[in-house]
């Protein structure tokens, strides 16, 4: 499940996919055809880049010793029940293999599907960062989602 640097092509394919990139990127992000965000995560042994399925990437990186920021990106084939099952598997992996006691995600307020998905896999809405994400020249709030180990 945990990816290695050699898996960067598969990881970047999902992250730059036309169904993922527009929802996750903000103004100033590298253009879609040059977006290689997965490389930086895979190059760090502190980051967890997981592929519980071939069409979903779960990235977790430490913000503090026990808090990890997470990003979940999936192709349309993983959306719905398959994605929920895969994300829950990735969360369990994080609890068992990392120092994480809390996982936190930040979702642009307009991405209602991602917020709903977060709730389906066990995250709770914990707050809002006002006007902290710029897309197409407009500032958007970010919804903070979190889950604690043992919840």
d(CA 36, CA 16): 8
pLDDT of residue 1: 82
- The average pLDDT across 37-62 equals 92
- What domain range is 47 assigned to? 5-148
Residue 124: CA count within 13 A, CB half-sphere: 6
Beta bridge partners of 148: 102
Residue 88: pLDDT above 90? yes
Predicted pLDDT of residue 39:
87
Confirm whether pTM is higher than 0.85.
Answer: yes
Residues 120-144, mean pLDDT to the nearest whole number: 97
Count of domains in the chain? Answer: 1
Domain CATH for 128: 3.40.630.30
């Amino acid at each position: 499940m945990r990816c290695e640097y050699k898996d960067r092509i598969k990881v970047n394919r999902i992250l730059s996919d036309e169904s993922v990139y527009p929802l996750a990127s903000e103004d100033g992000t590298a253009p879609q055809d040059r977006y290689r965000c997965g490389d930086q995560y895979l190059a760090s042994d502190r980051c967890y880049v997981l592929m519980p399925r071939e069409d979903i990437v779960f990235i977790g990186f430490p913000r503090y010793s026990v808090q990890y920021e997470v990003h979940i990106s999936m192709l349309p084939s993983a959306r719905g029940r398959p994605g929920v099952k895969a994300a829950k598997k990735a969360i369990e992996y994080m609890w068992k293999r990392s120092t994480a006691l809390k996982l936190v995600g930040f979702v642009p307020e307009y991405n209602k599907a991602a917020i709903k998905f977060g709730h389906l896999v066990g995250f709770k809405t914990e707050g809002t960062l006002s006007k902290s994400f710029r897309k197409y020249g407009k500032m958007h709030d970010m919804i903070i989602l979190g889950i604690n180990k043992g919840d």
